[in-house]
């Protein structure tokens, strides 16, 4: 095990408030079962001048997923006995039904229900009650891929798991978490606080940045299984100490949820039981991040080093970068940032299988990739290959080849010829999705195109729409009910034999290849 570089660690922790600018945050480090560093800065509520503390409870967001899976394994010896119950949640699903374990591993193939709230007409600040989730999930008829073959992040997987726990035990999820997880781990104040309209301890989440300022975020979402837990820094550090104290017990909950997992063909998977398995700066880690509008969190655990890092902000800034920076400093690691200046890397491609646009933008320090919800940074090496975290890009002539290791996915991108503008008159009108049982209206006025989604959650805001290439458009969703918006929706125009627009295929990384047909009987 590597000794801690105390000087480097203290310096990095001191710099967190200036490097990750915002209202407030907390960070802590556990080594060999003991807290060796703890920080709390800024304000939990800037208007009320309420200081941020290590005891203040923040939404831990998707960090909750590991606790859902730990509780599932604690309560059920054989998860396969629950497999038949999955059909209750997706009764009209026509593709291969996922198992409970595949739900735990994000291998279900189901589309993410938080991304689908956009297509179902949700307003970003609307209330999403507990009873709204299951009817939305139940509309699923097809998925991204056959269950067990690939990885795709999906909150619906864990929402179903939360419901399965309650049905199988006839106990409330919050009560079970308190008794079976929080109490044994010494997480004295953690609790399931599913309704985000009522944050605990007066903590406020903020949207914005130093350029535009910070405003209190409005959340109306009920999280259950996929998120919903609120915990303080002290609670999460207690969890890390508990992990260390039980490290030699093969049957401990953390050893069980962090054990190796595979895809259906036996190949290793990098996500399982609500935890990512990563290699960061050559160190094997398990961890997870989370976000709710106005909040961001990340924790990671390096078992061989007996080291854990926790970072939480009450603003939306990269806690993953912050946590990995703290990890590197604690272990005295120097990150190799060598990169050659990229050339001819500005480009636009179409991933035809996933139905998604791939866009790259170069600058002096590397490449920014637009594909998943958040842009990824890559550095170009001397061999001409661009590399990022679990991500590789290379060119094969005009074709782009992208390897997404953590998803078990290889993407072949067909080059597109970019255009600055297209006449949207041909695509204006009303469309219907049988998959979603929802409408889409496209309006075009004086050269500007906008999309309006209507579904079970109402009528959403007008969304901006831009042409990228011939018959390829994007809808730019920058705000949604979930913390991180789904990003750009790729819109592929479909034409009949006469060249007339007959339908669209819409998708983002979280919800791909959704077909809409032109609803001529109900044109605007």
Bridge partners (DSSP) of residue 490 are 474, 507
Q: How far apart are CA 108 and CA 101, in angstroms?
A: 9
Q: DSSP of 10-70, one letter per residue?
A: HHHHHHHHHHS-SSEEEEEEEETTEEEEEEEEEEEETTTTEE--TT--EE-GGGHHHHHHH
DSSP letter (8 states) at residue 334: P
Tracing tokens 């864990």 back to the chain, one arrives at 158
Q: How far apart are CA 440 and CA 428, in angstroms?
A: 10
Q: Is 21 a catalytic residue?
A: no
Q: Both tokens of residue 219?
A: 């959340």
Q: Which parts of 128-280 are beta strand (E)?
A: 191-192, 206-209, 213-216, 229-231, 261-262, 268-269, 271-272, 275-280
Query: Which residue among the candidates 31, 65, 232, 318 is catalytic per the annotation?
Result: 65
Tracing tokens 């497999």 back to the chain, one arrives at 83
Least Cα distance to 495 among 439, 432, 436, 427 occurs for: 427
Query: Which residue among the candidates 62, 232, 258, 308 is catalytic per the annotation?
Result: 62
Q: CA-CA distances (angstroms) from residue 395 to 72, 343, 346, 365, 403?
A: 44, 12, 12, 19, 11
Q: Degrees (nearest 5) of the Cα angle 487, 489, 494?
A: 170
Burial of residue 421, with CB atoms counted within 10 A of its CB: 0-12 exposed, 13-18 middle, 19 or more buried: exposed
Q: DSSP of 435-468, one letter per residue?
A: TTTEEEEEEEETTEEEEEEEETTEE---EEEEEE
Other C-beta atoms lying within 10 Å of the C-beta of residue 160: 28
Contact 415, 348 (CB under 8 A): yes
CA 421 to chain centre: 32
Least Cα distance to 137 among 217, 211, 52, 225 occurs for: 225
Q: How far apart are CA 150 and CA 269, in angstroms?
A: 9
Q: How far apart are CA 503 and CA 355, in angstroms?
A: 14
Q: How far apart are CA 58 and CA 80, in angstroms?
A: 34
Burial of residue 260, with CB atoms counted within 10 A of its CB: 0-12 exposed, 13-18 middle, 19 or more buried: exposed
Q: Is 65 a catalytic residue?
A: yes
Q: DSSP of 367-380, one letter per residue?
A: EEEESSSS-EEEEE
Write out the catalytic residue numbers: 62, 65
């Amino acid at each position: 095990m590597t000794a801690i570089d105390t000087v480097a660690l203290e310096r990095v922790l001191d710099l967190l408030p200036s490097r990750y600018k915002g209202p407030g945050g907390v960070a802590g480090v556990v080594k060999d079962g003991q807290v060796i560093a703890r920080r709390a800065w800024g304000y939990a509520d800037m208007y009320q001048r309420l200081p941020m503390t290590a005891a203040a409870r923040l939404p831990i967001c998707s960090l909750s997923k590991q606790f859902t899976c730990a509780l599932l394994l604690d309560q059920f010896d054989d998860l396969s006995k629950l497999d038949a119950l999955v059909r209750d949640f997706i009764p009209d699903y026509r593709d291969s039904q996922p198992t409970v374990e595949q739900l735990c591993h994000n291998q279900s193939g189901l589309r993410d229900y938080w991304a689908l709230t956009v297509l179902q007409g949700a307003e970003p600040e609307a209330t999403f009650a507990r009873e709204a989730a299951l009817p939305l999930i139940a509309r699923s008829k097809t998925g991204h891929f056959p269950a067990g073959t690939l990885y795709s992040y999906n909150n619906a997987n864990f929402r179903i798991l939360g419901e399965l726990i309650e049905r199988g035990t006839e106990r409330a999820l919050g009560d079970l978490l308190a008794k079976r997880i929080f109490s044994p781990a010494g997480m004295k104040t953690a609790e399931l606080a599913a309704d985000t309209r009522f944050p605990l301890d007066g903590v406020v989440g903020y949207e914005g940045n130093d350029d535009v300022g910070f405003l209190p975020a409005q959340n109306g979402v009920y999280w259950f299984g996929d998120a919903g837990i609120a915990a303080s820094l002290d609670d999460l550090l207690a969890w890390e100490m508990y992990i260390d104290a039980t490290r030699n017990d093969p049957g401990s909950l953390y050893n069980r949820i962090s054990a190796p997992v595979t895809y259906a063909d036996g190949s290793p998977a990098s996500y399982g039981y609500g935890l990512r398995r990563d290699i960061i700066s050559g160190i094997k880690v398990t961890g997870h991040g989370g976000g709710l509008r106005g909040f961001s969190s990340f924790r990671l655990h390096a078992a061989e080093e007996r080291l854990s890092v926790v970072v939480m902000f009450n603003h939306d800034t990269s806690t993953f970068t912050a946590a990995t920076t703290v990890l590197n400093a604690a272990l005295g690691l120097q990150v190799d940032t060598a990169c050659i200046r990229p050339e001819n890397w500005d480009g636009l491609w179409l991933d035809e299988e996933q139905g998604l646009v791939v866009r790259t933008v170069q600058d002096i320090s590397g490449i920014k990739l637009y594909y998943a919800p958040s842009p990824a940074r890559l550095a170009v090496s001397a061999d001409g290959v661009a590399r990022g975290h679990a991500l590789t890009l290379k060119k094969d002539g005009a074709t782009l080849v992208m390897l997404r290791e953590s998803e078990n996915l290889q993407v072949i991108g067909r080059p597109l010829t970019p255009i600055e503008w297209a006449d949207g008159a041909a695509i204006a009108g009303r469309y219907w999705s049988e998959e979603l049982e929802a409408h889409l209206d496209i309006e075009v006025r004086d050269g500007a195109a906008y999309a309006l989604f209507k579904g079970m959650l109402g009528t959403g805001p007008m969304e901006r729409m831009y042409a990228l290439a011939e018959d390829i458009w994007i809808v730019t969703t920058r705000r949604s009910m979930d913390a991180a918006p789904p990003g750009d929706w790729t819109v592929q125009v479909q034409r009949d034999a006469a060249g007339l627009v007959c339908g669209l295929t819409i998708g983002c990384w979280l919800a791909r290849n959704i077909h809409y047909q032109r609803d001529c009987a109900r044109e605007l």
